[in-house]
Amino acid sequence: METNLLKAKSQELKAVLDLGTNTFHLLIAELSEHGFREILQKQIPVKIGAGGINNGFLTPQAWERGINAIQEFSEIIQSYSIHSIVATGTSAIRNAKNGLDFLAEIESRFGIIVKSISGDTEASLIYLGVSKSFEFPNEPILVMDIGGGSVEFIIGIQNQILWKQSFEIGAARLLEKFQPSNPIRILQIQEIESYLTAILNPLKLALVQTETKYKKLAILVGSAGSFETLLDVLKLDLNIDCESLTPFAHRVSLDAADKFFDCIMGSNKTERENLKGLLDFRVDMIVVATLLMRLVLRNFGLNQLIASNYALKEGLLLSENL
């Protein structure tokens, strides 16, 4: 009944569309001077990068899945009194040769203007979104968002971003590049870790530079996606509850994180399909995403982990610059 009342009376509803490489997200929320109140959230596992992400091309099959998802979102949006719409495309779309054509078809068919944003902009919006999920401490933190196409890292203190960079090493890219076995073999883990370590050298340097000016950076904040899967598998499959900081952020002990890493990286596809906390469309990509989480925690001396439910879409909701 509350939702219907808001439909009828609210004129300040904002719709956000985050067209990610793995998943298209729709968020409808009521904005106020105190922040926002979520009205509806929906995600569709489009996998827009499947089959062409490392070649910079959206395949006809992926294109069709994307258009069908926007059709569904458009019908939902039309059932609400929406005050404004903001929509963005990220890694797979911004790097595809036919990405702008795809966005042009969305505008032509549905009247929704989608902006292809840079990795730098994406990182800033992720930090903004995550910052609203709990009160950041007065010390440097590292925020990490694992997407299908890219992974964003942001170093910041409270509302100030000190450094940020987007890396084209998302789970879909890694999966397509390395095609790990089920379960993943030790030699494959070593190969992927070696590849990631080399690519993430700018992050290592940024962390060192941060620690020359501030106290040691110890906290990794994971943004939505794979980190929500971490929380769900811990709770529903490993019977481990994590400390709640707010309804939208939880502290994960390193011991609990290690149990999750062992569970995922030691499993085959069938075993992962049977996990209650793992959504079907993450069954394959969660392995390389988990490997990436583990590498960052272990290689960069981080000893605290916080999983946030907020990410890019919440940043888009609150940003006034798009």
In the numeric block, the tokens 């940043």 are attached to 315
pLDDT, tens only, 155-214: 999 999 999 999 999 999 999 999 999 999 999 999 999 999 999 999 999 999 999 998
Residue 34: pLDDT above 90?
A: no
Contacts with 68 (C-beta within 8 Å, 6 or more apart), sequence order: none
Whole-angstrom Cα distance, residue 293 to residue 234?
15
CA distances (Å), origin 233, targets 237, 274, 276, 308: 5, 11, 7, 15
Residue 143: pLDDT above 60?
A: yes
Residue 3: pLDDT above 70?
A: no
Instruction: Find how far residue 162's CA is from the centre of its chain.
Output: 20
pLDDT score, position 32: 82
Domains, in order of start, for the chain: 2-116 (3.30.420.40), 135-313 (3.30.420.150)
pLDDT, tens only, 59-68: 999 999 999 9
Contacts with 217 (C-beta within 8 Å, 6 or more apart), sequence order: 139, 140, 141, 142, 155, 207, 210, 211, 302
Query: How would residue 113 be classed by pLDDT, with cut points 50, 70 and 90?
Result: very high
pLDDT score, position 137: 93
**What average pLDDT does range 40-67 have in this prediction?**
91
Mean pLDDT of all residues belonging to the chain: 92
Whole-angstrom Cα distance, residue 302 to residue 298?
7
Q: Which of 12, 63, 60 is nearest to 34 (CA)?
A: 12
CA distances (Å), origin 256, targets 175, 213, 290: 25, 31, 13
CA distances (Å), origin 244, targets 231, 248, 249, 259, 306: 11, 8, 6, 19, 10
Q: Which helix (H) or strand (E) holds 15?
A: strand 13-19
Q: Which of 171, 178, 169, 223 is nearest to 196 (CA)?
A: 169
Whole-angstrom Cα distance, residue 285 to residue 276?
16
Q: What are phi and psi of 79, to 5 degrees?
A: -85, -5
Residue 7: pLDDT above 70?
A: no
Query: Where does 214-312 show beta strands of DSSP type E?
Result: 219-223, 243-246, 249-252, 304-308
pLDDT score, position 11: 53
CA distances (Å), origin 188, targets 42, 49, 257: 35, 23, 21
In the numeric block, the tokens 């992050």 are attached to 203
pLDDT, tens only, 76-111: 999 999 989 999 999 889 999 999 999 999 999 999
pLDDT score, position 219: 96
